[in-house]
Each structure stands twice: as C-alpha cells, then as structure tokens.
Amino acid sequence: MLPEIEQYFRLEKLPHMWCPGCGNGIILHSLVKAIDKLCLDQDRTTMVSGIGCAARASGYLDFDTLHTTHGRALAFATGVKFAKPELNVFVLTGDGDCTAIGGNHFIHAARRNINLTTIVFNNNIYGMTGGQYSPMTPNSCRATTSPYGNLERPFNLTELAIAAGATFVARTTTYHTKQLTDLIIEGHKNKGFSLIEVITHCPTSFGRQNKMGTPADMLKWQRDHGISAMRYENLNPEERADKFIIGVLHKTEAPEYTTEYQKLLEKLG
C-alpha cells in the first residue's frame, strides 16, 4: 500500500462507498499527497464536508473530520477556522452542495478571504440522489430531472469565485492528478480563500445519461478537453468551444479575515 494512503486514510473505513469508476478516490489520493508534501501536522488539520457523494470523503481521512449539513460546509468551516486560526482547514464539497444550496456561503467565504482551502468535486450532477441536474450541469445535458435536456445554463464557478473575491482560483481534472496535487499545495499556501475546482467523472449518473462511455472514456474526455491557458490562447473560437482551461486561473493578495481579526484583538488588548 502507498505510504500516504496508510498515513492519512482511516484504513478500517475502506473500501469506500463510491461507485466503481468514480473519480472521487482520485481526488482524495491527490489531496493526501499534497498534505504529505506540505508536511501538515495531522493533529492540526481539519476536513469539513457537506452532504452528497463528495462530502463522504471526510470520513475516510484520518484527521479531525466534520461531515455537516447540505450546503453548509463552508459556514461550519468558517466557524472552525475563525475560532482556531492555527488549524489547517480543508473543505471538501460537491457541485450541488457548493454551488446550489451552498452558493451563498461560497461567495461570502470568498469575499471574506478567510483562509480555507476549498476543493469542489465537480461531477456535473447530484450523484447521491440518483442523477438530477445541478447548477454545474452543462446546458442541454440529460439528468433525471432534465429528461429532455437541461434548459438552464451552468455557473462558471472559477469566474464566480474570482468575482466574489477569492485570492487563489484554479481548475483541473481527475485525469491530471499530478497537477491536482500541485494546485492543492499552492492553494493551501495561499493566505486566503482558495478554490480548486476538480472536474471529476460520474459514470453511473452523468456519464450513463449522457452516453459518455466507460470511466476510462470519461477520463480521456477530460484529457482532451482540459487544456493549459497557453494552448487555449492558440485555438480559434470554434476550437475553443468545448475546451476549458486548467491550471492556476487567478492569484492575488488581499487581507485575510482571521489575520485582520487578530490585529484587531492585539490593538484592543
């Protein structure tokens, strides 16, 4: 067994409950590799998750773990981080959890620039409830609640995070595992709110309903459609249509909330 699995997983909780071919396990592996490289103190690192397939991730990881209510992971995590800023706090959330029911907490955590590393497992669908469309389901895609094709438009989550004030914003896929680890490392080093959107595959619901083939086919789709900003620049508008940029999309500096509060305490104290 890989040493980082042995070190950071609650081995007795495995095998996990995700479907065969699901991408969530790939994200967890990249996450623990990042934590290992960051040399984070396991006793002072907290994983906070909401509700849904992605949110079950916290239970498999050997840290203080908080599996909360639907959509509210960022609000719970804000409480943990604000009360004890010395803790490393990661938020593990899905696209439905984070961008629909939790959308308000998402924009406000970004606006506050509170030091949370948020990983959005974007599988474009509500997996746990059986495949309903989410705010990240592309237009015209099928879901059990859009049997004639989705009429809604999806969020551009990274643009939303940037507009709301996040100071580190990145995107990658479960095909690009090395890059995912690097982005989590860089995101965690950022002193502020970091978003890492990970395009992951749900062969059982999204893939099946949209005829995307096997899990391997879905990974190949990620490989072929997620491209670097440099490659994207060189494409004509037609070629760009079904592509998306992966890598760091935004990085800036701004006052971090718990640091600013600490300054206030020192001023008054």
Site membership for other proteins, residue 63 (CB under 8 A): yes
- Given candidates 15, 43, 236, 238, which one binds other proteins under the rule CB under 8 A? 43
Candidate segments 79-87, 149-157, 184-192, 237-245, binder of other proteins by CB under 8 A: 79-87
Which letter does DSSP use for residue 42 in this model?
Answer: G
Residues 84-103 that bind other proteins (CB under 8 A): 84, 86-87
* 105 binding other proteins? (CB under 8 A): yes
CB of 105 or CB of 201, closer to other proteins: 105
CA angle centred on 159, ends 104 and 58, rounded to 5°: 55
Residue 4 binds other proteins (CB under 8 A): no
With H, G, I as helix, E, B as strand and everything else as coil, classify residue 92: strand
Question: Is 113 within 8 Å of 167 (Cβ atoms)?
Answer: yes
What's phi and psi for 93, nearest 5 deg? -150, 155
Which residues have a Cβ under 8 Å from the Cβ of 203 and sit 6 or more positions away?
A: 19, 20, 21, 22, 212, 214, 215, 218
Q: Is 265 in the site for other proteins (CB under 8 A)?
A: yes
**264 counts as binding other proteins under rule CB under 8 A:** yes
Q: Which positions from 180 through 219 interact with other proteins, judged by CB under 8 A?
A: none
Q: How far is the CB of 62 from other proteins (least distance, A)?
A: 6
**How do beta strands 244-245 and 247-251 pair?**
unpaired
67 is a contact residue toward other proteins (CB under 8 A): yes
Cβ neighbourhood burial of 218 (10 Å; 0-12, 13-18, 19+): buried
* 194/254 Cα distance (integer angstroms): 12
Among 20-28, 66-74, 169-177, 233-241, the segment contacting other proteins (CB under 8 A) = 66-74
Tell me, by CB under 8 A, how many residues bind other proteins.
37
CB of 104 vs other proteins, minimal distance in Å: 5
Peptide bond into 255 cis (omega under 30): no
CB of 127 to other proteins, least distance (A): 17
C-beta of 130 vs 149, nearer to other proteins:
130
CA dist., res. 91 & res. 165, Å (int): 17
Sites of contact with other proteins (CB under 8 A):
13, 42-44, 46, 48, 58-59, 62-69, 72, 75-84, 86-87, 104-105, 108, 261, 264-265, 268-269
